[in-house]
């Protein structure tokens, strides 16, 4: 007689029970780890790829949910268009990072605008960096300061450190394009161009000679990659275009007002240095969307419905043209989809769809995949009519949801997993106690 039917049967059942336990734990982890945007979570490992677990107390939402933390690069879906036909995510004061170490023995006194490193920002899909550069301690530093002067209590670090992060990213990602917009307080002759050369970024430089001067289309992203012109740099000092070959931003960029005027509902005024947003003399539009005084805990609220409404307002102010850059504080904070969803929907206009994830490469304009979006009210622009962006669902919050059939399949799979886990756990308990 087999020993499993004698006094050793419990020992024989142990391996089988342990096998069921292992399978149970494995499938449990898979079930938990596939929570989608807006679904409840307890920690980051509960959420799917590109998501993190957070909440938005400013909107009274105390239950943590899976929240988007990475951008979808539009050229990964629709490639080969001119650079100015896409919308790119930009971080305002990219270097002004919470918890960044201050100078030894100095307490930094300034505002903060971001929460993670520039390297992480780029890895998460940020493609534009706003950097304030100053002469300081015989070098060029990143400072969040005032009156054109960097102080030890407003200084962050030498600019070359951040530029080397950019160089490493471009080297490791040979198809990506990064834009740097410099608020320029550097007066050292040739200081900036030497800085970029020393950081190894000159080999990626997009030359001023190739930039359209009268509002024409830019080269395609494909051409920029093929020629390795993958770093676009602008300065706020006009003379440096002729002296150092760095593009003067107001010749090529149209901007709305930064700070509080740029977040006032129903209004999208042009920045005083910029030509009007509906000018045809420049082909790039930068939409500033951040308050004058940044507050981390309020950013998730700012990146919900108010952001959607402002996109519609600025779209109208620009003569029904979607902005090419969206600049924000604390880009990761939202109540679900946030700035990532906003950029997806803005890029959806390149193919005539509600979101870029509905676009189909090579398909005619308006040929969209079957996706559904959150049921929200449309955006109304300042003229009172509904903008074309209203087909996105208007609020620019939340994330793209799969069609009902796909959702049903996902729910069915979850139910099957739940049923299997329940049966497995029951078998395990029976085998173990006998």
**Looking at residues 394-405, what average pLDDT do you find?**
26
Is the pLDDT assigned to residue 186 strictly greater than 70? Answer: yes
What are phi and psi for residue 53, nearest 5 degrees? -100, 120
Is the pLDDT assigned to residue 13 strictly greater than 60? Answer: no
Q: Coil, strand, or helix at residue 72?
A: coil
Range in 188-202, 307-321, 381-395 with the lowest mean pLDDT: 381-395
pLDDT at 45: 81
pLDDT-above-90 percentage for the chain: 74
Helical ranges in 180-304 per DSSP H: 191-198, 221-226, 240-244, 249-252, 296-302
Is the pLDDT assigned to residue 253 strictly greater than 60? Answer: yes
Q: Which two tokens stand for residue 164?
A: 């080397």
pLDDT at 379: 34
Binning pLDDT at 50, 70 and 90, where does residue 44 land?
confident
Question: What are all long-range contacts of 411-419, with beta carbons under 8 Å and residues at least 24 apart?
Answer: 414/31, 417/27, 417/30, 417/31, 418/31
Is the pLDDT assigned to residue 390 strictly greater than 70? Answer: no
| Nearest Cα residue to 158 out of 181, 178, 186, 177 | 186
Please answer whether residues 301 and 59 qualify as being in contact, where contact means their C-beta atoms are separated by less than 8 angstroms.
yes
pLDDT-above-70 percentage for the chain: 78
Binning pLDDT at 50, 70 and 90, where does residue 427 land?
low
363-374 residue pLDDT tens: 999 999 987 554
Higher pLDDT, 414 or 138: 138
**Looking at residues 403-409, what average pLDDT do you find?**
26
């Amino acid at each position: 007689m087999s020993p499993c039917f004698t006094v050793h049967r419990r020992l024989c059942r142990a391996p089988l029970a342990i096998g069921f336990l292992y399978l149970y734990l494995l499938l449990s982890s898979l079930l938990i780890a596939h929570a989608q945007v807006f679904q409840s979570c307890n920690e980051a490992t509960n959420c799917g790829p590109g998501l993190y677990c957070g909440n938005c107390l400013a909107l009274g939402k105390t239950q943590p949910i899976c929240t988007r933390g990475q951008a979808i690069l539009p050229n990964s879906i629709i490639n080969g268009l001119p650079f100015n036909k896409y919308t790119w995510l930009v971080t305002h004061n990219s270097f002004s990072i919470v918890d960044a170490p201050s100078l030894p023995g100095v307490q930094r006194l300034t505002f903060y605008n971001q929460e993670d490193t520039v390297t992480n920002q780029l890895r998460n899909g940020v493609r534009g960096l706003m950097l304030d550069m100053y002469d300081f301690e015989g070098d060029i530093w990143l400072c969040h300061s005032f009156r054109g002067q960097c102080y030890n209590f407003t200084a962050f670090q030498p600019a070359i450190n951040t530029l080397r992060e950019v160089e490493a990213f471009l080297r490791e990602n040979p198809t990506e394009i990064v834009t740097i917009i410099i608020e320029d307080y550097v007066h050292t002759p040739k200081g900036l161009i030497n800085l970029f050369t020393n950081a190894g970024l000159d080999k990626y430089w997009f030359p001023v000679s190739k930039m359209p001067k009268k509002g024409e289309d830019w080269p395609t992203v494909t051409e920029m990659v093929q020629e390795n012109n993958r770093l676009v740099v602008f300065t706020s000092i006009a003379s440096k275009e002729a002296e150092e070959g760095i593009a003067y931003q107001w010749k090529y960029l149209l901007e709305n007002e930064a700070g509080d005027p740029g977040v006032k509902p129903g209004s999208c005024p042009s920045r005083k240095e910029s030509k009007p947003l509906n000018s045809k003399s420049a082909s790039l539009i930068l939409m500033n969307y951040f308050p004058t005084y940044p507050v981390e805990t309020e950013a998730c609220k700012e990146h919900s419905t108010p952001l959607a409404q402002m996109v519609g307002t600025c779209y109208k102010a620009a003569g029904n043209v979607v902005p090419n850059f969206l600049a924000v504080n604390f880009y990761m904070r939202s109540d679900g989809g946030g700035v990532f969803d906003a950029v997806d929907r803005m890029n959806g206009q390149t193919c005539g769809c509600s979101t870029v994830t509905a676009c189909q490469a090579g398909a005619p304009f308006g040929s969209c995949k079957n996706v559904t979006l959150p049921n929200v009210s449309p955006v109304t622009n300042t003229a009172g009519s509904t903008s074309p962006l209203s087909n996105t669902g208007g609020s620019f919050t939340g994330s793209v949801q799969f069609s009902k059939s796909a959702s049903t399949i996902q729910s069915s799979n979850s139910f099957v997993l739940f049923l299997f886990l329940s049966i497995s756990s029951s078998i395990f308990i029976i085998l173990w106690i006998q």
